[in-house]
Amino acid sequence: MQLTEKPIHYLRELLHSGEITAKQLVTSVFERIDEVDAQVGAYITLNKEEAFKAAERADEMLKQGDARDLLGIPIAVKDNISTKGLRTTCASKVLENYVPAFDATAVAKLKEAGAIIIGKTNLDEFGLGSSTENSMYKATRNPWDLSRVPGGSSGGSAAAVAAGAACGALGSDTGGSVRQPAAFCGIVGLKPTYGLVSRYGLIPAAPSMDHIGPMTHDVRDAAILLQTIAGPDGQDPTSGRMQPENYEAALTEDIKSLVVGMPAELIEEVEDAEVKEALFGMANVLESLGATVRKVSLPHSKFAVACFYLLAACEVSSSLASLDGVRLGSRVFEAEDTVTMFSKTRGLMGKEAKRRILVGTAALSGQYRKTHYERAQKLRTLIKTDLAEALDECCVLLLPTAPSAAFPLGHKVDDPVAMYQSDVFTSVANLAGIPALSLPCGYTKEGLPLGVQILGRPFDEVSVLKVGHAFEQGCSMAARRPKLEVGTSD
């Protein structure tokens, strides 16, 4: 196994013991990027010069006995999260030349912990998609099978980690965009509780449902990254007051007497036999470790994906209004008047972004506000109530992450309704703002990874990570890596 495919906690020990240097590790990552990224397409922008400077500083600090968890660890960042002095495009031509003057709080915390930012990863434009085919630059491919999607919208981050082209990554999750690509690429992805990780510096899609979360090789690494980026932030008005815990120290394999719920209504929606087998296989493993598994009811969950896409479109319509060529973003100058300039500038956006803006604008207009938007908000409250009641009975809930394994490139890109169904199991956690962790739980007959997600009570990431870690230790699926043939990029 390549050095860059090793988990962060293993690399941390090598760095602190002096067996490797940060410069060697960063060199290994960029060599791996040179080998595979021409095929995978995980990155939009690389940060090579600054990364090597940071590695030199990290090596000096390591020699002085600096014991920070992430010192010298190369991390990739999704390209809708602001990075000071490093282009942040949201995979859109509208922001093609945008270079932020500040770091997102999550990025600033990574840097404070000694992490080295190696580049910005590809995504569906503005985070609007489930396959990373809606990028205005390129489509990202799944390292397990280059003919398939890596999931979305954090597909670049997932593919980079899975391919060993990053030791860990940040993604963003509005309706499943950390967890679904994690499942498709056979890695771990965590959507924290809303407010636990600051959204400051995350370019918004649907602000009431946007989250920043870690994407890693295993659950322990997710815990390490989470305890680094979590915590209150006065620059984010939606930030919670909860202080981050030592999530890594809380990981144990003891889940005896813990109650795990399986939502009956959503499990009835599982049509893929291999997904269902992986789900129940994970439940059996948890029972063998001493947990109690029982069915619970989420009666309104069958409406979640429709509710999510209506509300998300309304928020997208508002969030992207500033990208008009005047306040922010690129401007098309060849226009005879202001209205035409607005229209041509917005014309730089891709089909999916335009679709969401149009749907959201319509749903917020006139009578449709009451019949669509306000009803969807009431339904969101019912879904949150269902989840709260289920989590009163159980410590965590178990669900598939996606309805299937990774699907072929181009298979759903022209069928938005089919694409939206990719979020049928993930969107409930965003509507409620509760933590949800996806981790590998099986493989198809073709060798493609499958993921199951663990949902928990608000701010109870400890239980979610603890259950995920116990399962991971019980079956060792996190050790598998894709067999990616290497080439050389230009």
Backbone dihedral region for residue 458 (phi beyond 0: left; psi -120 to 50: alpha; all else: beta): beta
As a whole number of angstroms, the distance between CA 290 and CA 259 comes to 9
Please give the share of the chain, as a percent, with pLDDT higher than 70.
99
- Residues 6 or more apart whose CB falls under 8 angstroms from that of 233 comprise 105, 198, 200, 239
Strands (DSSP E) along 181-278, which ranges? 188-191, 211-216, 259-263
pLDDT band per the 50, 70, 90 thresholds, residue 1: low
Which residue reads 């988990």 in tokens?
7
The answer to whether the beta carbons of residues 315 and 208 sit under 8 Å apart is: yes
Which strand (E) or helix (H) includes residue 396? strand 396-400
Distance CA(233)–CA(222), nearest Å, equals: 20
Residue with token string 């890109």: 413
Q: What is the CATH number of domain 3-259+466-479?
A: 3.90.1300.10
| Averaged pLDDT of the chain | 95
**DSSP class of 128:** -
Q: What is the mean pLDDT of residues 32-49?
A: 98
Instruction: Express each pLDDT in 98-122 by its tens digit.
Output: 999 999 999 999 999 999 999 999 9
pLDDT in tens, 5-17: 999 999 999 999 9
Model confidence over 144-174: pLDDT tens digits?
999 999 999 999 999 999 999 999 999 999 9
Peptide bond into 319 cis (omega under 30): no
Q: What's the pLDDT score for residue 488?
A: 46
| Of 342 and 420, more confident | 420
User: pLDDT digits over 216-243, tens only?
Assistant: 999 999 999 999 999 999 999 999 998 9
Instruction: Give the Cα separation of 391 and 399 in Å (integer).
Output: 14
- Catalytic positions, written as ranges: 78, 153, 177
Q: What does the pLDDT read at residue 325?
A: 79
Q: Which tokens in the block code for residue 213? A: 């979360």
Over residues 185-203, the mean pLDDT reads 98
Query: Which residue(s) pair with 142 in the sheet?
Result: 145
Instruction: Over range 461-466, report the average pLDDT.
Output: 98
Res. 487 pLDDT band, cuts 50 70 90: low
Quick one: which of 465, 359, 472, 438 has its CA closest to 173? 438
User: In the predicted model, what is the mean pLDDT of residues 181-199?
Assistant: 98
Q: Where are the domains of the chain?
A: 3-259+466-479
Whether the full predicted model's pTM is greater than 0.85, yes or no, is yes
State the alpha helices, DSSP H only, in 394-443: 416-420, 427-432
Cβ–Cβ contacts within 10 Å for residue 318, how many? 15
> How many CA atoms within 13 Å lie on the side-chain side of 256?
1
Mention every residue, 6+ apart, whose C-beta is less than 8 A from residue 279. 262, 267, 270, 398, 399, 400, 441, 452
- Supply the DSSP symbol for 192: P
